[in-house]
A and B are shown apart, each in its own frame.
Chain A
Amino acid sequence: MIGVLDYGVGNVSAFLRAFYLNGVPAKAVSCPDDYESVSKLILPGVGAFDSAMEKLNNSGLRNKLDHLVMQENTPLLGVCIGMHMLGRASSEGNLDGLGYISGVTEKLKRKIDNEVMVLPHMGWNEVSIPCDDVIWEGINLKEGFYFLHSYAFLPDQSNSIIGCSVYSESFACAIRSSNVYGFQFHPEKSLSNGIKLLTNFAKI
């Protein structure tokens, strides 16, 4: 059973719907009891870093989440702000991140050769991968995924990077450290590629 953390941030129903239509058992996790029988977790995220961290910290879900991910190695997939939250901190805010993957989040470069880049990075972009990971199986990387963000994760270890994309500069759009995955784009809104990614995650 996949548990989609419902802490008041992110398109929880889109994840649940995507899993439901593809025969993957999934439920929303809004209180600690809901962790029951969950074997994998999704951390959705949208909006501002501090707002999301605060809501997660106050949701009552935080302690068990830390335990499941760090002690029991429960697979976790963080999306967009959910990915930023996996790190230590973000220049977008003041609160600490979860610290599951070593790294910080910084704003995408706004100026290239004196031209102002439009932010947020919004739309469909392709992904390139340094090496195979089961999560990418059956995915059309050229078609890519839907992005919507102004900040990007900078991992301390380059081998945490499992996917890159380019907007003004190259940035890590997919990271992984052991049981924890982070994706900058929105698989729940990326058509067949997104569904494939989510069902691949469910099969790990």
Chain B
Amino acid sequence: MTDHRICTRCVMDTSDSLIDFDDVGVCDHCRTYDQKIAPIWQMGEGRDDELATIVDRIKKDGRGKDFDCILGMSGGIDSSYLLYLVTEKLGLKPLVFHVDAGWNSQIAVNNIERLVDGLGLDLYTHVIDWQEIKSLQRAYFKSGVPHIDTPQDHAFFATMYKFAADNKIKNIVTGGNYSTECVRNPKEWMYHQSDSMQLRDIYKQHGDAPLKTYPITNILWHKVYLPYFKGIKLHRLLDFLPYDKESATQFLVDNYGFERYPQKHFESRFTRFYESYWLTEKFGYDTRKVQFSSLILTGQMSREEALMKLESPAYDPNTVHLEFEYIASKLDMSKEELTECFELPNRTYKDYANQEQLYLLGTRALNFLGKELGGKR
């Protein structure tokens, strides 16, 4: 039985079973940041030239069109602030792209409306067939694996890539960023959501009616074929500018009527339940540790504050039963059926067909070519 041990610099700990500490107790997440990410990212400072090159390319590709890129918008702070920057500071004309998987919170919907109206932009929404995503989510609950938010995440990316490919849009802009996400969820906690072999196998074993419209992508298609053969590139523009989460939030609150979320991932009711309750209580994986660790490393949160916050549960014990009931009811399950899923033995991604080897190979290649820093482990 391993003792619980926590990093001396961030707050990742042995609930990440592959964590590794050096002789001063600093974990490998921190070391990856120091050695691989920080030198290139430079906290978004001094990267104006790189940014200008990308922006020029986007403008050129979009000349004469109604919009020059699509921007994936969840209503969360990252994509909202990015939308503001891209429109007001970089002079781009994005089509705001939102994927509705049936779990939008009122705050998310409201924030999307305010940003789209405030910036005078066009919105495009793709609504995933609810019956299908419901079936997928039920299958994931029955599979016993921890990464049960894959149906939503996979759909977001697949839909965006498909839309770009179908409409010959060369540039996709997303809010992924090192400032708040330099430490990533361990694969053990959240396996690659784009692994379609895993998704299909889980659905084959635990799903029901065949999926007809649910959008499925695969890693080779969107990481190799689209960028290298079709010239469709993904840009994480927040990495090229200083990005402080709190001041970005306050700015949007003051200028666009943005409404703060009570917790992270509150944009999706499902994700909130999943990360605050299901993942913590069933598996002992608390994603706040990952989020806070990123903020600690990038100087936006102190370790003391993080530790203090981690002392209380991620969910409200007085009302979580209401969330539990809502999730069950929406997925056509009784409370008892969802509880049975909760009590299933914990499985891992290795228990189902997967393309992990391909991802490992790919990450090595991309790291070698300098096209990706760090990577999920």
Contact = CB atoms under 8 A, between A and B. Distances in A.
Direct contact of A and B (CB under 8 A): yes
Interface of A: 21, 23
A23 B322 CA distance: 10
B320 to A, nearest CB: 12
A23 B319 CA distance: 8
Interface in B138-165: none
Query: Interface size for chain B: under 10, 10 to 19, 20 to 34, or 35 or more residues?
Result: under 10
A23 B316 CA distance: 13
Interface in B305-346: 318-319, 322
A125 B322 CA distance: 31
Contacts of A21: 322
A29 B248 CA distance: 53
A25 to B, nearest CB: 13
Contacts of B322: 21
B158 to A, nearest CB: 35
A202 B192 CA distance: 49
3 contacts: A21-B322, A23-B318, A23-B319
B342 to A, nearest CB: 22
Nearest to A20: B322
A146 to B, nearest CB: 20
A21 B323 CA distance: 10
Contacts of B318: 23
Nearest to B322: A21
Nearest to A23: B318
B211 to A, nearest CB: 34
Contacts of B319: 23
Contacts of A23: 318-319
B269 to A, nearest CB: 15
A104 B318 CA distance: 44
Nearest to A21: B322
A34 B318 CA distance: 26
A147 B1 CA distance: 64
Interface in B93-131: none
A21 B322 CA distance: 7
> Considering the complex of A and B, which 3 residue pairs feature the smallest CB-CB distances, nearest first?
A21-B322, A23-B318, A23-B319
A21 B319 CA distance: 8
A37 to B, nearest CB: 21
A39 B318 CA distance: 23
A23 B320 CA distance: 12
B185 to A, nearest CB: 32
B18 to A, nearest CB: 41
